């Protein structure tokens, strides 16, 4: 385990990005939402955390479209905002998230959701960790892109060796 307690997890999107400020010591989301990209950098700077973790989009040899390029540009904008404000920012690949949380790269989003739900498991007022509006659990109201953002944050907290500064350099090798 690392010393980071409050971690921003971000699942970058074309126009909106899933973002969650996860407090690993509680565990609970302090802030979450599908944030319009034009406000995301300001939000990350206004609510600083110990670490910002972005899901790195990886290419598997297939052509990418305009939407993917926009998400990649957003990753760069976030990295630059973090650098300017001296906030540590790392990248974690989706494949690393799947392997860490599910044990196999062949798992999909439903498996990742189940692994996160199992991890923060039973809550006294519900079995999924979400709870209800009246009795919110640690995962209330995490859904969709926010769940992906949480998976990236949890993976970076638990496996610092998977963190990357960019596509080619790991954060761990940079610190040596």
Distances from the Cα of 52 to the Cαs of 73, 100, 126, 174, in angstroms?
16, 19, 30, 17
Res 60: pLDDT? 76
Q: Which residue has the tokens 């406000």?
A: 39
- Answer whether residue 171 shows pLDDT above 70: no
User: How do residues 20-60 score in pLDDT, each as one tens digit?
Assistant: 999 988 888 889 899 999 999 999 989 999 999 999 988 77
pTM confidence score: 0.88
Beta strand pairing call for 28-36 and 16-23 = antiparallel
Confidence of residue 1 (pLDDT cuts 50, 70, 90): very low
User: How do residues 114-163 score in pLDDT, each as one tens digit?
Assistant: 899 888 765 565 566 677 778 777 887 888 899 999 999 999 999 988 88
Separation CA 138–CA 102 (nearest Å): 20
Q: Which CATH architecture has domain 6-174?
A: 2-Layer Sandwich (3.30)
Section 89-103 average pLDDT: 94
Res 143: pLDDT? 84
Res 96: pLDDT? 93
């Amino acid at each position: 385990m690392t010393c980071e307690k409050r971690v921003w997890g971000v699942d970058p999107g074309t126009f909106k990005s899933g973002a969650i400020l996860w407090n690993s010591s509680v565990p609970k989301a302090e802030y979450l939402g599908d944030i319009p990209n034009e406000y995301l950098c300001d939000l990350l700077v206004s609510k600083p955390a110990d670490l910002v973790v972005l899901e790195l989009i990886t290419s598997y040899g297939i052509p990418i479209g305009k939407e993917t390029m926009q998400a990649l540009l957003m990753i760069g904008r976030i990295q630059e905002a973090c650098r300017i404000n001296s906030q540590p920012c790392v990248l974690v690949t989706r494949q690393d998230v799947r392997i860490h949380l599910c044990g196999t790269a062949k798992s999909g989003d439903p498996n990742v959701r189940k692994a996160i739900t199992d991890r923060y498991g039973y809550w006294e007022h519900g079995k999924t960790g979400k709870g209800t509006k009246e009795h919110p659990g640690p995962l209330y109201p995490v859904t969709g892109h926010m769940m992906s953002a949480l998976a990236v944050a949890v993976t970076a907290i638990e496996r610092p060796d998977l963190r990357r500064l960019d596509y080619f350099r790991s954060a761990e090798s940079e610190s040596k």
